[in-house]
Amino acid sequence: MQPLMRVIDANANRAREGLRVLEDAARFCLEDVQLTTQAKTLRHRVTEVVRLLGPSNLLDSRDTPGDVGTAVATESESTRHGHRSVVAASGKRVGEALRSIEEAAKVTRPGLAPELERIRYAVYELEQSVLLGLTGTIPADWSVCLLLTESACRKPWEHVIAGAIEGGVDCIQVREKSMSMKQLAERTTAVIDIARPAGVEVIVNDHVDVAIATGADGVHLGQDDLSPASARSICGHSLLIGSSTHSLEEAADAVGQDVDYIGVGCMFSSRLKPGLQASSTPLLEELVRAHPDLPHLAIGGICRDNIEEVINAGGRAVAVCHGICDAEDPAGAAAHLSEAIHAARLEQESS
């Protein structure tokens, strides 16, 4: 029982510390009484539940000098790319800590596990509310992003995105390199009209102005486009900003420019960018290891035949064009990718 008490004690401290960060953001940055109260209430609820789990054993079990984990750290722990990153990291820290306490409670006090689960879900909602208040957007947490290019579609593009949404994509990037600005704006508006009622976000490739004008959720920038920092100076945090990266150096540069997510690739040979050399999965492995908290989209030739390779390399989100657009059954193709990604995420969360 002593090791479980140590688990509960350590994670209770993590949860309260993370909630304090969320509370401070709500109190001093947003000056939001309701969110501040929610954060404070959750912090006290954690304290009370933990007290019921083992009031006398917790302090007795604490052994900070003998904790082998205090000497283990990753590079990403000492770096944050903006206040939103601080809040997002704290929210994730609280959720992970509460999940660990919840699992331990199933052994020590099973009746308290449901309450810990309720607190954990309340924290998820609090984190989202604080992030929305700070920036107007929430971090990109997609599983499958459809790269919509009409010329790649076997069937009418409207049919393709309807099927993709049915299959589980949670983001659509409008990628139409040959369209005029007027045409791109019209297409983006049409995609938003279909996607937004389904809760699917829409990103515009390359053009910040079109993303702003159409009310899209974000913009994705290549290495030859406007820099993320320049785009941020134009749109502030009203848009999510993504950046294509093909090396660790480009990823580090993007992180320093306050991006919300990065595209990583090219994973495999791709008809979308035939001139770009495929990096396969080693780059993805290195990047996830270097920036574990930064949302990513693995990109380049990904389909149902190679999705497991991407997952095994640490990929937890993908951007796909031909694998869905050129499919006879876009809904089935999207569902296969989405199910594989979600299964991998669940496995990671439970491990």
For residue 69, the model assigns a pLDDT of 59
Res 75: pLDDT: 47
Instruction: Evaluate whether 246 touches 276 at the Cβ level (below 8 Å).
Output: yes
Q: Tell me, what's the pLDDT at 199?
A: 85
Specify whether the CB–CB gap between 297 and 264 falls below 8 A.
yes
Burial class (CB in 10 A: 0-12, 13-18, 19+), 307: buried
Q: What is the pLDDT of residue 242?
A: 95
Q: What pLDDT shows up at residue 136?
A: 64
Average pLDDT over residues 255-262: 88
For residue 256, the tally of other CB atoms under 10 A from its CB is 12
Neighbours of 264 (CB within 10 A): 32
- Of residues 280 and 125, the one with the higher pLDDT is 125
**Amino acid 219: pLDDT:** 97
Specify the pLDDT at position 71: 53
Q: Which of 69-73, 136-140, 214-218 has the lowest mean pLDDT?
A: 69-73
Structure tokens of 297? 């989209």
Residue 88: band (very low, low, confident or very high) from pLDDT cuts 50, 70, 90: confident
Distance (Å, whole) CA 240 – CA 39 = 25
Residue 166: band (very low, low, confident or very high) from pLDDT cuts 50, 70, 90 = very high
Tens-place pLDDT, residues 33-75: 999 999 999 999 999 999 998 755 555 666 666 665 555 444 4
Mean pLDDT computed over every residue of the chain: 88
Instruction: Compute the distance between CA of residue 29 and CA of residue 39 in angstroms, rounded to an integer.
Output: 14
For the chain, what are the domain ranges? 2-135, 144-350
pLDDT of residue 255: 85
| Amino acid 113: pLDDT | 94
Flag whether pLDDT at 122 surpasses 80: yes
pTM above 0.75, yes or no: no
**76 pLDDT more than 50:** no
Length of the chain measured in residues: 351
In which band, very low, low, confident or very high, does the pLDDT at 327 lie, cut at 50, 70 and 90?
very high
Contact yes or no for 238/137 (Cβ under 8 A): yes
Q: What is the CATH superfamily name and number for domain 144-350?
A: Aldolase class I (3.20.20.70)
Q: What is the mean pLDDT of residues 270-274?
A: 64
- Asked if the peptide bond before residue 325 counts as cis, ω within 30 degrees of 0, the response is no
User: What mean pLDDT is predicted for residues 292-296?
Assistant: 86
